[in-house]
Amino acid sequence: MKLSRLALAVALLPGVEVFAAEQELPSMLITSARQAEPRAQATAANTVFTRADIERLQARSVPELLRRVPGVQVGSPGGVASLSLRGTGTAQTLVLVDGQRIASATSGFARLDYLAIDNIERVEVIRGPRSSLYGADAIGGVIQIFTRGGKPGIKPEVRLAAGSDQTFQRSLSLAAGTEQTRVHLGASLDESDGLDITRDNRGADRDNDGQRNKALHLKLDHQFDANWKAGLSLNDQRGKNEYDDAYEFAPGAPQDEFRVSSYSGYLDSQLTDIWNSRLEMGRSFDRNRAVGSNYNDGLLETTRHSAAWINRLQLSERQQLSLGSDWYEDRLDATTTYQEDSRDNLAFFAQHSFQSERFGTELGLRHDDNQQFGSHNSWNAALSLPVGESQRWILSYGEGFRAPTFTDLYAPPAWGPNPDLTPETSKTYELQWRAEFDETQLEAALYRTDVEDMIAWGGTRMENISQARINGFEASAARELLGWQASLGVSIIDPRDRNSGRVLQRRAKRSLSLDMDRQFGAFGVGASWQAFSQRFDDSAFNSNYESERTTIPGYAVLNLRTSWQATPELRWEAKLDNVLDKDYHLALYQREFANMDSAYGYKEQGRTALFAVIWNPSL
């Protein structure tokens, strides 16, 4: 697990000054191989958003940013952010913040919607399994989030914004440093009354469902000399998230009081000309206290301690070998008694890569030893073939697995836990094509993922009962067109339960994302268009009713944005989302009252506006 990857990238670029290396980082990729490498050489399909991209797109959350990635679908059923990467489930994608796993060990969900985007420098999305490097949960891929670091001098920033639904956003940050020491300190407070996500107007469901999120960020990096560096990172989000109760008559306004945080430190050393060694330690924290709910009152809190030792050996100009070990321990604190409240995982991994003018290879193996489910081996292999100077073909194979969560294994008996569950496993076969013609960057991929022993409800308890097959195609294109910066992403998937033949629920089979941006001197304008095909949901209220397929219509959303750099220190921004006020939903919820079943769609956000001013005073 990599912490402060910006600093690591610098360490792997010999003879380059810190600041210059940061400027070159957009052409590098870190998450794919757990070390800095040119994006053109990375074997994994990937998407990267830099800080400049975040500001140009005026993205105000990580889920909003991820909707642009081919193969990524983001939803918010019941106010809980869901994520599907290449047709897999939310818990089948590994999410890291500065190298720390942030997903809850009870639900398996990483609350990306809680992360303050004002404190984020870079987001890397790896599409396809990476369990051979990262272990559990990386079946669909890996999302790596890097927080902002310091810069030479003193650079403060103030951002104030206001918009629809009584939305108010405030953030303050300070980036400072010398050539040896960099520090970034940031704080933010976001508040919104939100909207009423349900449509039945019963009980406590009549009110809007708001959110309050306050965040604090600190990153410190220090270069002792040419060979030694160290750093610390702190990222903390806490607040409340309101939602509608699942029952008709709730006692009040239910809400979750949450906290998502991570703390980490690293020591990096270039021990010899060919050997770089890095030691990392960290702690992540996921806390959720439900208040005012009929069925879910109580505390669920997981704490994860971790350590990693990672070594990179430059065997020759063309060969690299990575060797390392990971350890982490999960601990649970809950109002409801669980049969077990802790487990640990120890792993060792190795990966060899070779690059020549005619071909490249990559081969990796990881061995995990988990306290609950024992030993597991994960492989990956890739062969890349350059065609001329502008094309590259990549053929790859990767394995993934997901460990059962505390809730799956140890929850109270009434919840149907099963301590004999085994991990879900996957095998992915993929063919990629990358090319650049006339300053147009093109990428396409065909893949198939087979998932075995999917963990699902077996009628009385959780079981390893399901098998899934996901066939997919994705493509992207980017270029400047008549002065416009354009990027297009397309995804087609066929995710099916192999036992029933049904399409997996809440997955759109087709999706498209288009971004267009242009600068007219100090003025910038942009538009985004995102479209998704229909999807299916199961409409049965509980296991006493036969599950029926309900079609959720497809939809398309148009967003507009503009900016004005009034002075070198002052910038104005405005955005209008869902311009056509499209009424749509991504998931159903069920109710039972008066001996009747009813299925309703969770309402998504209608037309909203947001105005912001950003001040960067010169000191």
Reported as a single tens digit per residue, the pLDDT across 127-139 is 999 999 999 999 9
Question: What does pLDDT average to over the chain?
Answer: 87
Beta strands 28-29 and 37-38 are antiparallel
Extents of the domains making up the chain: 5-615
Which residue do the tokens 């270039």 mark?
270
Q: Give the per-residue pLDDT at 40.
A: 85
Any idea which fold 5-615 has? Maltoporin; Chain A (2.40.170)
Distance CA 217, CA 186 (A): 5
The DSSP result for 397-440, as a single string, is EEEEEEPPPHHHHHS-GGG---TT---EEEEEEEEEEEEEETTE
81-96: average pLDDT: 90
Distance CA 327, CA 1 (A): 10
User: With 70 as the cut, is the pLDDT of residue 251 above it?
Assistant: no
Q: Which of 45-49, 206-210, 459-463, 498-502 has the highest mean pLDDT?
A: 45-49
Reported as a single tens digit per residue, the pLDDT across 351-390 is 999 999 899 999 999 999 988 888 899 999 999 999 988 9
User: With 70 as the cut, is the pLDDT of residue 611 above it?
Assistant: yes
Which residue do the tokens 């690299």 mark?
320
Q: Which of 224-233, 531-540, 541-550 has the highest mean pLDDT?
A: 224-233
Q: Give the per-residue pLDDT at 585.
A: 83
Q: Give the per-residue pLDDT at 119.
A: 94
Least confident of 330-334, 512-516, 560-564, 569-573: 330-334
Distance CA 439, CA 59 (A): 26
Reported as a single tens digit per residue, the pLDDT across 312-340 is 999 999 999 999 999 999 999 988 888 88
Q: Give the per-residue pLDDT at 204.
A: 58
Q: Give the per-residue pLDDT at 362.
A: 96
Beta strands 93-97 and 141-147 are parallel
User: With 50 as the cut, is the pLDDT of residue 6 above it?
Assistant: no
Q: Give the per-residue pLDDT at 465.
A: 77
Reported as a single tens digit per residue, the pLDDT across 462-511 is 888 788 999 999 999 999 988 999 999 999 999 998 888 888 888 999 99
Q: What is the DSSP letter of 335?
A: S
Q: Give the per-residue pLDDT at 295.
A: 57
User: With 90 as the cut, is the pLDDT of residue 614 above it?
Assistant: yes
Distance CA 330, CA 338 (A): 14
Reported as a single tens digit per residue, the pLDDT across 566-603 is 999 999 999 999 999 998 888 776 544 433 345 566 78
Distance CA 434, CA 393 (A): 7
Reported as a single tens digit per residue, the pLDDT across 497-506 is 888 888 888 8
